[in-house]
């Protein structure tokens, strides 16, 4: 593992902050001052300012994101963030993004490998959204959504679409383009008025109110890591 990633996982600093520590000569590996290209293996001894650093345990958090909170670790405009809302003792970061006004399931973790897998299009992770829209989409609109909608960055992949109420739809997507659900509904003439992600990789917000969070169970983590999952 590259040294800056090791320090970030240990909760010492962000990767960028870790690089600054390394440049300043404050980090040693096996007694030698380390460089930015240094890699760390399990048997190596890493120290920052003379204090030994060990790898931080992997952590997995499921948050019921409320509206008005941005999906970042910090915000230059001073808005509340999901990382601040969770306030975990370990440095966790969100897996993907939800718009500030979008609510629902959000995972946070310090497991970079699993986060990458969950976000990679090749693994086709299910993202289920409940969408309130303007007007009442007809069957043709639902067919267009299901078969793929032409957007400015290309046609969307096929989706599963259900009408729950005249102006309430459920969409299951595998893609994760920016503002994708909002753009898809706008393209068929029914702009989104409320968006909630009810499930991500098979995980929902059961038992969690807006703003509440919990650690994933060992069984849930194992299911996310299983071959062919999620």
At residue 182, the pLDDT reads 97
Pick the CATH number of 60-120+203-225 from 3.30.70.580, 3.50.90.10, 3.40.50.2300, 3.40.50.1470: 3.30.70.580
Angle at 16 between CA 11 and CA 20, to 5 degrees: 95
Closest alpha carbon to 118 in 176, 161, 171, 170: 176
At residue 180, the pLDDT reads 95
Kindly list the catalytic residues: 99
At the second CATH level, the architecture of 126-200 is 2-Layer Sandwich (3.30)
Quote the distance between the C-alpha of residue 80 and its chain's center: 17
Q: Mean pLDDT of successive 10-residue segments in the chain (230 residues)?
A: 86 87 96 94 91 86 97 88 91 91 96 88 91 97 96 94 98 92 97 98 96 96 79
Domain boundaries, the chain: 3-53, 60-120+203-225, 126-200
At residue 13, the pLDDT reads 84
At residue 211, the pLDDT reads 96
At residue 230, the pLDDT reads 56
At residue 121, the pLDDT reads 79
CATH class of 3-53: alpha beta
Torsions phi, psi of 42, nearest 5?
A: -60, -35
At residue 228, the pLDDT reads 63
At residue 90, the pLDDT reads 84
In this chain, the answer to whether the domains covering 3-53 and 126-200 adopt an identical fold is no
At residue 100, the pLDDT reads 95
């Amino acid at each position: 593992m590259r040294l800056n990633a090791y320090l970030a996982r240990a909760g010492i600093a962000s990767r960028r902050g870790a690089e600054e520590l390394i440049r300043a000569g404050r980090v040693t590996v096996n007694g030698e001052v380390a460089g930015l290209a240094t890699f760390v293996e399990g048997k190596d001894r890493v120290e920052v300012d003379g204090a030994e650093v060990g790898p931080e345990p992997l952590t997995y958090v499921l948050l019921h994101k409320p509206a008005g909170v941005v999906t970042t670790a910090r915000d230059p405009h001073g808005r509340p963030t999901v990382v601040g809302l969770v306030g975990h003792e370990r440095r966790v970061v969100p897996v993907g993004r939800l718009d500030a006004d979008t609510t629902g399931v959000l995972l946070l973790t310090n497991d970079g490998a699993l986060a990458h897998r969950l976000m990679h299009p090749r693994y086709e992770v299910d993202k289920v959204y409940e969408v309130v829209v303007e007007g009442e989409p007809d069957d043709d609109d639902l067919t267009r959504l299901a078969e793929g909608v032409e957007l400015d960055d290309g046609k969307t992949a096929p989706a599963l679409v259900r009408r729950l109420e005249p102006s309430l739809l459920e969409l299951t997507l595998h893609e994760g383009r920016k503002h994708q659900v909002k753009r898809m509904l706008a393209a068929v003439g029914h702009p989104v008025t409320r968006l909630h992600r009810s499930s991500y990789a098979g995980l929902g917000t059961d038992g969690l109110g807006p703003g509440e969070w919990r650690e994933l169970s060992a069984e849930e983590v194992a299911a996310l890591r299983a071959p062919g999952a999620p």
